[in-house]
Structure 1
């Protein structure tokens, strides 16, 4: 579906239902373009935590590779399920969940036999303690109005001792324009302004929503969701990565963080 209007960008409140509806519609409309533009970087079976290119094969944030074999893993906001395919190659039993039907169609196109589930991260359609691990690379968390609700759902479906690892845009980035060049290096807004970024149509209906939380907010959300934070990773921009991805670029990546990865554990 092609939009016949130019969305208006603004900062305003947006609740759970509006955010979810906007995310589903945006990803259904833009999945084709997203996979065309970023598919080569993401690969079909690679687990990348963000535009910097931090690879789970090297980072091991989900735990030792030996523990992945036979593990039940839930990927939230899976897109075309690239991360899940990598997990399956390690001997894990992944399930790829996404809100967008079109993104999951791309997962079917690539193949690999990964179980796919279309559902909202705030209401996971699984029994309690169904998974050993849960992960999300830029999926769901930045786009939900109530991240604690999502975290509590993730905790519910995890077994005691299970890890929950998710990546988001580094909160510091919200103080800077979303530009890859020099104009993206000057502070233009308050880091402490939590007002969501909203793109809306001519009738004022949100067609894209992203929510800002400070680092402190994210930590408190993790704790309120029933987890213990054991690591916070801020990937540095590697010398090999020359690509620009939206507001991410070598210029900015060498000066300010672009991604934050939260490594959490359900203790009991």
Structure 2
């Protein structure tokens, strides 16, 4: 596997040589845009609607819009002066408890590896992270862009996660149904029924079983077109299953049958309507 970054983790004066590896790879099929008349590729030109003409790169400027038709120009030279310097160090500024970081704050992940010469200190760092259940926080520069990052143990290895900044993460309190003061009555019999449904559907997570259904459907469509045959209606599964109240009610009823639960728990009385 090719390393996309090589550098060091720095904890005060302690350094650990590391490499970063992408945790995922894109497997989605891509479609190109071509001109229907000749089949050639479509290019995307820079176009000015006011002048009704294409614009060359040397005639393009960057501005910050202030509103009301006003803006401030920012030159490439000015941007270069404030850009982070090329740096191959991930300096850990502090450690936090594992519970202080949640999944919403993370946006991209990298596996962390090392060379033979750094194996001993790498394993020492991994062991200490596992025992302490701590996460290291600091800044890292990747491809000339500085990111806030977290480094943490995962299984028998270490993962570095790029984080959102605090002002980028929305609060769950902004969602209507979680606003303080808004309460929905939950009936005990409904909790029992849905809990039984969850239990009936619980099993080991077979990650590979959940493929990209749209990608599979697109590949089948392309293969059929190459072979000049029409796909059968049952060859392509729906991309998204239906999800509405009727389906929920029928799913609960089927679950009741499955777990041999009492059907009297699920009545159609006014007091037992799902919310």
Please indicate the TM-score interval, normalised by the length of the shorter structure: under 0.3
* Larger relative contact order (Cα-Cα within 8 Å, sequence gap ≥ 6): 1
TM-score by length of 2: 0.18
Between Structure 1 and Structure 2, which shows a larger proportion of strand residues?
2
